[in-house]
Structure 1
C-alpha cells in the first residue's frame, strides 16, 4: 500500500519513513505542504500522513482543499498542538484521525493499520486466497500454518492483489503502488518479482496460482474457486461433466460472438457496396475482419469458412469491380451460412489439422473407466480452448506493439511408456517451463504429450535457446522406473510472427510443419537415467 508522508521535520520524517517501509508500505516523502499537494494530485495514495504546521501550505488548508475536490483519501494528522480545539479543527477540515506528537511509534503503526481497515471496511484483517493467508498486522504470509519467506516487494505485490481482488493492475499501475518516486523500476523488474512470488507460492504448497496474467493489460488476483477441481474418483461424475460442459460452452459463446461481429462488419460493407456507398474506411475495416476470420475459422475447424473469408479479403484488397458485386455478396452470404453451421457444433474442433485424425488425442491407463476418460477429455478440451484465447491475446498484443511473437509446439516422443512415468516426465517438463519462462508467456499442456508455448517479444532464435536450456535441465533430473533407465526425446516445432505467419492459424501450421520435420529426425534426444 502507498502512503504519502508530508512532514518538514527531517528528524521525524526519515525515521518514520523507514519504519513504514519496514512494514512493507511504499512511502513518498514531501518536506512542505505545496510539494505534498503536487504529489497528492499526481498519484493515488491509500493514506496521507500530514503534519499540521507546514511551510507554504499548512495541513488544515491541505485537508480542506483535498476534500473540496472530492478526494476521499484517508488522512491522519500529525501535530504537536494537542488540544481539543486543534483536534476538532483538524477533523472538521476533513481528517480521518489525529495523532499528537510525540507519538509512540508502535501505536502510530497500529492506528495506521486500523485506519486502513476502516477505509476498506469490507476487507477482513486476515487476507486469504485458498490455503494462502496474509496477516497485515504482523506482515506474515502462511500456507497451512507454514511461513512463506517473501521479499518486501513480493509481500507488497501479494497484499495489493489480495486487497483489490476485482482490479487489473498494469505494469505502470504496479510501479505507482509499489515503488517510491526515488526508485522506479523497469518493467522487466516487475515481471521478475511476479515470477519469484509465483515460484515461492508454488513451493510452499499453495493450491493453484493466485496471480492471473491478463495478456496485454497486466495482472490481477485469480478467483480462488476457478482452481478448485474435483477429484475424479470421489466427485459425482455427472456433476463434474455438467461443470466441464458449462465451462466449454462459455468459452465457445465468447468466440462465437466475436466471429459474428466480424462477419457483421463484412455484411455492412456488402450492403454499402450494393448502393455504391462503400467508404474507404469501411472497406479497410471489412478487409481486416475478413483477414481475421480466415485465420480464426480455420482454427476452429471450418476450412470452408476460412476459404470464403480469404476470397472476400482478396476482393476487398484489390477493390470490388461492378461485375464482381453480385459474386461478392454471394460469398458474404455463404460466409454467414458457414457461421450458422459452425454454431451448431458446441464447441467446434479446436485447431483441427486436415492431415491428421484428432480422435486419438487423449491416452488413459487401462484401469480408467470410459466415463472417466470422457471427463478428462472434456476437461482437456476446455483448457485447450482457454489457452487458444490466451495465445490470440498475446499475439494481438505483439501486433499492436510491433513486436515479435514465437509459437512453439513441444511433444514427448515416447507414449509407450507407463502412464505414471509419462505423467511424471510431463509434470517435470511443465514445472521447468514455468520456472524458466516469463510470467506473461503462455504455457499450456494440450494432452497427447504435447505443449503449446507462446512467447511475446521473442524472436525464434531466442525461443530456441530458451527451450533448449529447459531440455538441458531436464537431462540433469533423474526419472526412474524401477531399476531401468528411461529413454526420452522431444520433438519441437517453432514459428515466428511475422515472417512465418500473420495470425495464429498460420503460425500453428508453420510450427506443426517444422515439428513434423523434427519428429522425423527423431527429435531433440534427451536420455534420463
Structure 2
C-alpha cells in the first residue's frame, strides 16, 4: 500500500515514515505543499496523509487542487489546529478523515487501513438543471459554461433547490436545511436570497429557473 506523507515537521515526518514502513506501507514523504501537490497529482497512491500547515501551499489548498484536478485518492488531514470549523473546512474540500495532533499512531494506522479498504470514492455527481450546473466537489456553479460567483448562503440555497428539482419546497424547509434547524429570524430572508440568486443565475442569461408558488414556496425547474 502506497502512502504519500505531506508533513513539514521533520522529526514527526521521520517518525511516521519509519512507523508506517514497519506496518507494511510504502511511504513517499515530502515536506511542502508544492511537492505534495505534485506527487499527489502525478503519481498513484492508495492514501494521502496531509498536514494543513505547510510551506508553499497549505494542506487546504493542496486538497482543493487535487479535487479540482479530479484526483480522488483518499486523504487524511493532520493538523495542530483544533476546532470544528477546521474539520468542516477539510471535509467541505473533500477530505475523507481528520486527526488533530497529538494523535495515537495506532489510531492513524487503523484509519489509514480503513481508508485503503474503502478505496478512492467515485467522483460526486454534478447537479444539472438545463444549462445550469453545480459541482459539489469543486464548489462551483456554471451556466452555459460561464462561471457564476455565489456567496456561501446563495450556494447552499441553490444546491438545496437543485437537489429538489421540480419539487415545491416551503420557506420552512429552506430555512431548516440552508440556514439552521433552530433559525428564529424572519422568513422573508428566503425571499431576499431567492432574489439575489435570480439576479445571478437567471437575469444575465435571460432565463427563469426559480418559480414562486404563492402561499407555498419555490420550485426550481428546467
The TM-score bracket by the shorter chain reads: 0.5 to 0.7
Which residues in structure 2 correspond to 1:474-493 (within 5 Å)?
none
Q: 1:41: Cα distance to partner?
A: 2.4
Query: Within the alignment, does 1:24 sit opposite 2:24 as a pair?
Result: yes
Pair 7,40 (structure 1): closer, same or farther in 2 beyond 3 Å: same
Q: 1:120: Cα distance to partner?
A: 6.5
**SS of corresponding position for 2:18:** helix
In the alignment, the residues of structure 2 paired with residue 114 and residue 39 of structure 1 have an alpha-carbon distance, to the nearest angstrom, of: 22
The structure with the greater share of residues assigned to strand is 2
Which residues in structure 2 correspond to 1:153-302 (within 5 Å)?
none
* Counterpart in the other structure of 1:422: none
In the alignment, the residues of structure 1 paired with residue 23 and residue 65 of structure 2 have an alpha-carbon distance, to the nearest angstrom, of: 30
In the alignment, the residues of structure 2 paired with residue 71 and residue 120 of structure 1 have an alpha-carbon distance, to the nearest angstrom, of: 9
**SS of corresponding position for 1:107:** helix
Q: What is the Cα-based RMSD across aligned positions, in Å?
A: 1.3
Deviating beyond 6 angstroms after TM superposition, the runs of 4 or more aligned structure 1 residues are: none
In the alignment, the residues of structure 2 paired with residue 83 and residue 77 of structure 1 have an alpha-carbon distance, to the nearest angstrom, of: 13
Aligned residues: 121
* Counterpart in the other structure of 1:35: 35
* Counterpart in the other structure of 1:108: 108
* Counterpart in the other structure of 1:48: 48
In the alignment, the residues of structure 2 paired with residue 44 and residue 82 of structure 1 have an alpha-carbon distance, to the nearest angstrom, of: 30
* Counterpart in the other structure of 2:119: 119
* Counterpart in the other structure of 2:91: 91
* Counterpart in the other structure of 1:61: 61
Gaps of at least 5 residues in structure 2 are 122-222
Q: 1:119: Cα distance to partner?
A: 1.8
State the Cα deviation string for residues 408-435 of structure 1 (Å, max 9, x = none). xxxxxxxxxxxxxxxxxxxxxxxxxxxx
- Does the CA-based 8 Å contact 2:3-2:26 persist in structure 1? yes
In the alignment, the residues of structure 2 paired with residue 91 and residue 29 of structure 1 have an alpha-carbon distance, to the nearest angstrom, of: 23
TM-score (structure 1 length as normaliser): 0.22
Q: 1:113: Cα distance to partner?
A: 0.9
In the alignment, the residues of structure 1 paired with residue 42 and residue 71 of structure 2 have an alpha-carbon distance, to the nearest angstrom, of: 12
TM-score (structure 2 length as normaliser): 0.53
In the alignment, the residues of structure 2 paired with residue 69 and residue 120 of structure 1 have an alpha-carbon distance, to the nearest angstrom, of: 14
